[in-house]
Structure 1
């Protein structure tokens, strides 16, 4: 059955309706092309140190040599990487992908409980972790299949003396490295040295091989690994590259990479697309230090930046940002969460450039929709489906609705995941036999094919671009002996889009808000922790006893809008 694609008439000139996903055999083939084509161009910069594409080729080759020659890892084995944006990340990532390993991207801020689940579920055999988070890793390893650990410090790839100074400051002055004991761990630089003695084996990597297990909460609380194949990632790169290519000069772009590369948006757009264009990724290791971030921007001549609404908002509210040189900036891209009109308008006023908003999910590798790059102002829409992508709005029964009506946004295309790792039932809930993915987002599409997100179908909470699932929060809080019942909902927040609010019925009348917040700090990553807690005598429920989160959410909205 042919699908109507009204959006094709509104594409910019030169954007294809479809792509040739067979242009590259694998991500490794794409990397090889960039390593040769842009050999002497700068590829990644961090703390003043620059790696060229040639450096990256050799270093990732050495890391692949270590993983295969010393550790015996083979195609399909899982490597977990738990790093912020440092030079070690692309070296390890590209080394693993060239070897045909499956990369398990791991948020460095995970608690031991969250990390344990991911390592156990993925069956990761090896873990690369920053010293700052090694104590968490130590607590999480029991009962997992992890046999090999590589550790590294922030300044390890920066060189002498600057790297040594950074490591001294981080460990000794700032005391940011809690003590850990991983006696069999190998240091990253030693791994590279040892890897040089082993040639990188030639590995046949196929389109359907899984490149990433990218963990996402999906529709339930427990994180599931979205299987993103080499085909998915290549497709998304080929679908999105033409969208920006007319506004990017190969070998000349410098992109600010502040979103962590373990986040799917940054991984595909910054890590793959800009690498395929021979761009320089300027890595920001700690974007939460906004003053330091702005200082870095003032020293850098950049042409592009990606971010989420909260990042742009944070920059706009940081002193000195309006003194940054925006003369070369021509591409600002937002995703991960809804872009607020006020932020978009302020950004344009300060930088002179609009923010181009796109839309996607972990399950779509991630880009599915994007605004035209030549827009002048905020549109309020997520734009058009990108090349080779079909989109429909469907009702509760899965019937396709006419344009202009509101329903669930469904997407089909070569970027849609293979499924959830070892979770066929969960996969079946969102992916049908014809390859259509149910996004769980409520949207409408106008007659041009431009889409507008209306609301989320599920109770998911979106904090600074990260998915927070109420089931997970409630599950953790219910383990507290003083809690009888709990509901977690998202409450609007100008800084992070939404924050988590808990409604709690106490079992122990002496339980305090402070005690419960401390408990959440121990068991939940920062962005998942409740910022507000309210004690109640009872929670609203359906006649079968299901807690009505929607009622609580609506109550909060009414309160907010009546003040």
Structure 2
């Protein structure tokens, strides 16, 4: 149970205390257990506590073993983290670092060239360099790092004066694994950025309490036979709140094992762990599941241990779901979430027997309503803007009082910007984004509806519908 926890570090405390030798993570085929995850996180926390002042710590790292170590290190040091997409441009990184008031960044060496042009325009005073081979056995670490540097043509890190540089590997070697900072007072765990459909940079202020509440809700939803012996395939990036909460934090809570996929665009990296490990849970988006079902080896894989496949982030195409079910024997279940909600607010039952098009019922402790443009509550089956209230919902956007007034109703419902409805059974159906709705001859047309119909044609793999003024 998580409802008696106050801080996300307590998830790892418990896993370390109860099951220190359980597999926690697999990255590049190397396993680290909860003892190692805890020890390395504490080493980093002690370095941060001793060497950096207050301020947000940015993490710009792909799905490597160093990612969870970095995140828990930041939290054990009682700092707030902000997660940066490693594929961002220099301008995008600059905007996020300035807005979040970043003073320290933990960054993968292969992406340092993105940071370099704008580093002196930020408040950053400390740079911690992560290499792809970090947390691998010594010989393998050197080989992986050498190959990576050769392929990426990265040989020297250009350094700016006035900024402290250190390698993560050096930090982990030279600092104690006994926690020196034992007072955790900072309530904000993450400044999680989202552009939404508006493209406006804004950060959801997610507290430890918000995220722990969502983990507790998901624990109630999860199949009971998903436990400390279970593995989850982590192909989605951990810097995204969907994978972070479910694949990383929820699985640490149940003391399970997360198989990290560094680059799912390389289909081999996606298929190999499915062959090698008994995967109990898969999270993904429609695109990822579409790639899997169309791969030549899909039907050869052993799916006997799979308990549930969860789709989120975008509508699930019925054709993809049907192909999946024809081989695996059970459908992909859909969930619905938003960055501002830590992120999950509803999910279909894992016992669902067929594609329904629904994103399920609200999670425990969550209330979902639909509203018209005047913020009047609508009845069942009436389409309106989806509003959400629950313990996982953020309290505010970071330093955006203008937006905070717009996105919450007087009763405290967060307005999602998504159009949808609840049926008479309380199941949620997403129709489209508010701003994507197209007016045709006075009628509301939702692009998702058009796309779903088009995608049923056997010669159509994917489609997109847009409105054009004339």
Q: TM-score, normalised by structure 1?
A: 0.76
Alignment partner for residue 143 of structure 2, among 157, 165, 173? 165
Match of residue 480 from structure 1 = none
Q: Is 2:43 aligned against 1:62?
A: yes
- Distance of 1:153 and 1:30 partners within structure 2: 26
Alignment partner for residue 396 of structure 1, among 364, 367, 373? 373
- Distance of 2:180 and 2:302 partners within structure 1: 42
Counterpart secondary structure, 1:419: coil
Alignment partner for residue 187 of structure 1, among 157, 167, 172? 167
Aligned partners of 2:56 and 2:81 also within 8 Å: yes
Shift of 1:178: 8.2
Match of residue 329 from structure 2 = 352
Counterpart secondary structure, 1:142: helix
Counterpart secondary structure, 1:54: helix
- Per-residue CA shift, 1:509-559, capped at 9, x if unaligned? xxxxxxxxxxxxxxxxxxxxxxxxxxxxxxxxxxxxxxxx8435xx9xxxx
Aligned partners of 1:66 and 1:198 also within 8 Å: no
Alignment partner for residue 408 of structure 1, among 377, 385, 399? 385
Aligned partners of 1:63 and 1:192 also within 8 Å: yes
Match of residue 118 from structure 2 = 140
Counterpart secondary structure, 2:273: helix
- Distance of 1:146 and 1:122 partners within structure 2: 11
- Per-residue CA shift, 1:365-400, capped at 9, x if unaligned? 100010011111111101000000011111000000
Task: Map 1:463-482 onto structure 2 (within 5 A).
Answer: none
Match of residue 204 from structure 1 = 184
Q: TM-score, normalised by structure 2?
A: 0.91
Shift of 1:193: 2.1
Alignment partner for residue 421 of structure 2, among 424, 444, 468? 444
- Distance of 2:62 and 2:463 partners within structure 1: 23
- Per-residue CA shift, 1:62-83, capped at 9, x if unaligned? 01011112x2344xx3110001
Shift of 1:432: 3.0
Match of residue 217 from structure 1 = 195
Match of residue 91 from structure 2 = 113
Task: Map 1:26-425 onto structure 2 (within 5 A).
Answer: 26-69=7-50, 71-74=51-54, 77-172=55-150, 174-175=151-152, 177=154, 180-182=157-159, 184-196=164-176, 199-205=179-185, 209-218=187-196, 220-248=198-226, 250-425=227-402
Report the CA distance shift for 1:496/1:144 in structure 2 as closer, same or farther (over 3 A): farther
Aligned partners of 2:52 and 2:104 also within 8 Å: no
- Distance of 1:182 and 1:157 partners within structure 2: 24
Aligned partners of 2:52 and 2:126 also within 8 Å: no
Report the CA distance shift for 1:497/1:29 in structure 2 as closer, same or farther (over 3 A): farther
Aligned partners of 1:394 and 1:408 also within 8 Å: yes
Report the CA distance shift for 1:498/1:84 in structure 2 as closer, same or farther (over 3 A): farther
Alignment partner for residue 434 of structure 2, among 433, 457, 468? 457
Shift of 1:403: 0.9
Aligned partners of 1:310 and 1:497 also within 8 Å: no
Shift of 1:205: 3.2
- Distance of 2:5 and 2:177 partners within structure 1: 29
Q: Is 2:459 aligned against 1:551?
A: no
Shift of 1:148: 0.3
Counterpart secondary structure, 2:81: strand
Counterpart secondary structure, 1:51: strand
Aligned partners of 2:383 and 2:420 also within 8 Å: yes
Counterpart secondary structure, 2:306: coil
- Distance of 1:101 and 1:497 partners within structure 2: 42
Report the CA distance shift for 1:438/1:331 in structure 2 as closer, same or farther (over 3 A): same
- Distance of 1:66 and 1:216 partners within structure 2: 30
Aligned partners of 2:59 and 2:83 also within 8 Å: yes
Shift of 1:349: 1.5
Counterpart secondary structure, 1:339: coil
- Per-residue CA shift, 1:253-287, capped at 9, x if unaligned? 11111101110000111111111001100000011
Aligned partners of 1:60 and 1:91 also within 8 Å: yes
Shift of 1:300: 1.9
Match of residue 442 from structure 2 = none
Aligned partners of 1:25 and 1:205 also within 8 Å: no
Q: Which runs of 5+ in 1 are unaligned?
A: 1-19, 461-488, 502-548, 556-563
Shift of 1:195: 2.6
Counterpart secondary structure, 1:336: coil
